[in-house]
A and B are shown apart, each in its own frame.
Chain A
Amino acid sequence: MTITLVIIFGWLLATTIVGVMAGRNRAFSMEEYFVAGRSFGLILFYTTAAAEIYSSFAFLGLAGWAYSKGISITYALAYGSISYAIYFFLGPRINRLGKKMNYISQPDYLEDRYGSKALGILVAVVGVVFIVPYLQLQIMGSGLIVQLASGGAITWQTAVLISFIAAVIFVYVSGLRGIGWTNFMQAIIMLIGMGSVGFLISNHYFGGVGKMFETLAQIKPSHLTLPDTSGNGLFWYASTALLSGLGFWMWPHLFSATYSAKSEHIVRRNAVILPLYQLAMIPVVIVGFAVAAKVGMDPAFGARIAKPDQAMFVALLDSMPPWIVGLLGAGGLAASISTSSGLILTAANLTARNILQKGLKQDMTDMQVAKTGRLLVPVYTAVALAFAFLAPSMLVNLLITGYSGITQFFPGVVLGIFSKKPTKAGVISGILVGLVALFTYQFGGIKAPFGLQPGFVGLILNFITVLVVSSFTKPVEADRLQRFEKILSAEEAA
């Protein structure tokens, strides 16, 4: 037990020190703080982007889903790949626009592209509204990981307080540069821990991954094909993977992370190598299946797993020495904190830059934006902590719609890069129609057609609205279009 905790908190301390050191000797400015001065090279940008994907969900949720529901979880494998294939074309342009126009946030681009302050503020507010519940989820996940890994010796509340004081320290001091370096640390422990865990547990219980799957195929074949035990079928899988794949880079924290790459070439090369990081998810899925097979053989074991999210750690504690549990606990905590820190910084960024400087308080200088953003880092962390402690289930509804909600930015973002036709009225009404459709299906008790994801239906209606409304509303000014055309059509700088 002690060894486990020493490893987990030792790793947390090391991460915090690296994060704080990263920001040393850097002049404080808005660009430095929020987009690391647009200086990340291939590896640092790789780990920054990859680590954001590995949230506490990747740790607890993947295994828990595979354990309780089955192979429909592999939509998570599919959507990552889809999003990187799209990013190959999208990412370099986002990076280029950021560099030429000094954008530091996602609404910076949309506001400028369509010449609409209202659009910028709308996107910033929607972004914050979906970020906070996501952050709350990460916080609770990180606490759960430590609580489970310690076998209950530490409560999740204590674990969360320690972890998030650490996160606030390095985000406050170093901004995105600190996050970049801590994500680099995370990638190391994840690849070691995640890479080995699937095989270790299958080996322990069944003498190998192959034997484990053969057992599972006999006792619970419904776990291994679609529709799986949960009833999620191929259509659900494909539409969810596609929706999440399109929506992925629309998350404000991932979008603005693209600005931090040194050049668009770095971004494009990353689109090539990012899919490989996805492979590390497979062992975690395998853990979930291994636990399902174990429970099938030994139902008493299943009684120890109160919730699916606990599946991985129950099996780890049962089968592995404390130092391995510690390593995995540290990996899970790191995964959660790296995602959280990006979310915290982005919520602060959106608020200071787009809701305040470009909205309510337009006389702010860039330096004031940076300082206000930095002050908002502990504020947003405290807000999410308060939700986690006091009203853990209050934001659940927002969370399940988070991905679908964020995806409604897709038409405005993508058409803004590839087409001259959309107007600001079109894009604004598209986002609103998409969100209304999403909430109606999700909470209005109406089933979306063909078993599709509600967000997917919202996205289609959103696209149609943008096209229709844009056809009769005032086009974007010619000089603005020309400015964007000039930047976007320029051949890549060699």
Chain B
Amino acid sequence: MGLTKGERKSLIFMLIAILGFMPPVTNWANRIEPFVLGMPFLLFWQGLMIFGTFVCMALAYFVTEGADRK
């Protein structure tokens, strides 16, 4: 039971992905301007964080695989 060595190293990526949607980050992102890609900032931020989750989990994947496959 418990996480593997690689997974423990990867936990940070999960935290980044989740915290990006949580206060206090969202307190900061909770604004209309500046508009980015035509979208109000809060909506843009959430789209960016979805992509960010993908990037975080991809990093987690490589870190986990790298550490556990020895």
Q: Does A441 contact B (CB under 8 A)?
A: no
- Which chain A residues border B13 with CB–CB below 8 Å? 85
Interface residues of B in 20-70 (CB under 8 A from A): 21-23, 26-27, 30-33, 35, 37-40, 42-43, 46-47, 49-51, 53-54, 56-58, 60-61, 64, 68-69
- Name the residue on B nearest A492 (C-beta): B68
Secondary structure call for the B interface: helix
With A82-B17, A85-B53, A88-B14 known as contacts, the answer to whether A224 contacts B42 (CB < 8 A) is yes
Among all A-B residue pairs, the 6 with the closest Cβ atoms? A210-B38, A78-B21, A81-B53, A209-B38, A275-B53, A85-B17
Taking a contact as CB atoms closer than 8 A, the residue among B30, B39, B49, B68 that contacts A226 in the complex is B30
Pair B53/A213 contact, Cβ less than 8 Å = no
- Name the residue on B nearest A484 (C-beta): B1
- Which chain B residues border A494 with CB–CB below 8 Å? 69
- Name the residue on A nearest B21 (C-beta): A78
- Which chain B residues border A212 with CB–CB below 8 Å? 38
Taking a contact as CB atoms closer than 8 A, the residue among A78, A279, A492 that contacts B4 in the complex is A492
Pair B49/A81 contact, Cβ less than 8 Å = yes
Taking a contact as CB atoms closer than 8 A, the residue among A71, A242, A485 that contacts B1 in the complex is A485
Pair B58/A272 contact, Cβ less than 8 Å = yes
With A74-B46, A225-B30 already in contact, 15 other A-B pairs whose C-beta atoms are closer than 8 Å? A71-B42, A78-B21, A85-B57, A210-B35, A224-B32, A225-B31, A225-B32, A235-B23, A238-B21, A238-B22, A241-B22, A272-B61, A282-B47, A418-B3, A494-B69
Q: Which residues of B line the A interface, CB within 8 A?
A: 1-4, 7, 10-11, 13-14, 17-18, 21-23, 26-27, 30-33, 35, 37-40, 42-43, 46-47, 49-51, 53-54, 56-58, 60-61, 64, 68-69
Pair B47/A224 contact, Cβ less than 8 Å = no
In the assembled complex, the CB of A44 is this many whole angstroms from the nearest CB of chain B, namely 20
The 0/1 profile, CB within 8 Å of B marked 1, for residues 230-260 of chain A is: 0000110110011001000000000000000
- Which chain B residues border A237 with CB–CB below 8 Å? 26
Pair A74/B43 contact, Cβ less than 8 Å = yes
Pair A242/B22 contact, Cβ less than 8 Å = yes
In the assembled complex, the CB of B31 is this many whole angstroms from the nearest CB of chain A, namely 6
- Name the residue on A nearest B38 (C-beta): A210
Pair B22/A272 contact, Cβ less than 8 Å = no
With A74-B46, A237-B26, A241-B21 known as contacts, the answer to whether A213 contacts B38 (CB < 8 A) is yes
Interface size on A, residues (CB 8 A): 54
Give complex CA distance A70, B30 in Å: 13
- Which chain B residues border A278 with CB–CB below 8 Å? 50
With A209-B38, A217-B32, A491-B68 known as contacts, the answer to whether A272 contacts B43 (CB < 8 A) is no
Q: Does A360 contact B (CB under 8 A)?
A: no
Q: Does A489 contact B (CB under 8 A)?
A: yes
Pair A71/B57 contact, Cβ less than 8 Å = no
- Which chain B residues border A469 with CB–CB below 8 Å? none
Pair B61/A86 contact, Cβ less than 8 Å = no
- Name the residue on B nearest A241 (C-beta): B21
Pair A84/B30 contact, Cβ less than 8 Å = no
- Which chain B residues border A296 with CB–CB below 8 Å? none
Q: Does A214 contact B (CB under 8 A)?
A: yes
Pair A77/B31 contact, Cβ less than 8 Å = no
The 0/1 profile, CB within 8 Å of B marked 1, for residues 259-300 of chain A is: 000000000110111011011001001100000000000000
- Which chain B residues border A88 with CB–CB below 8 Å? 10, 14, 57, 60-61
Pair B43/A71 contact, Cβ less than 8 Å = yes
- Name the residue on B nearest A235 (C-beta): B23
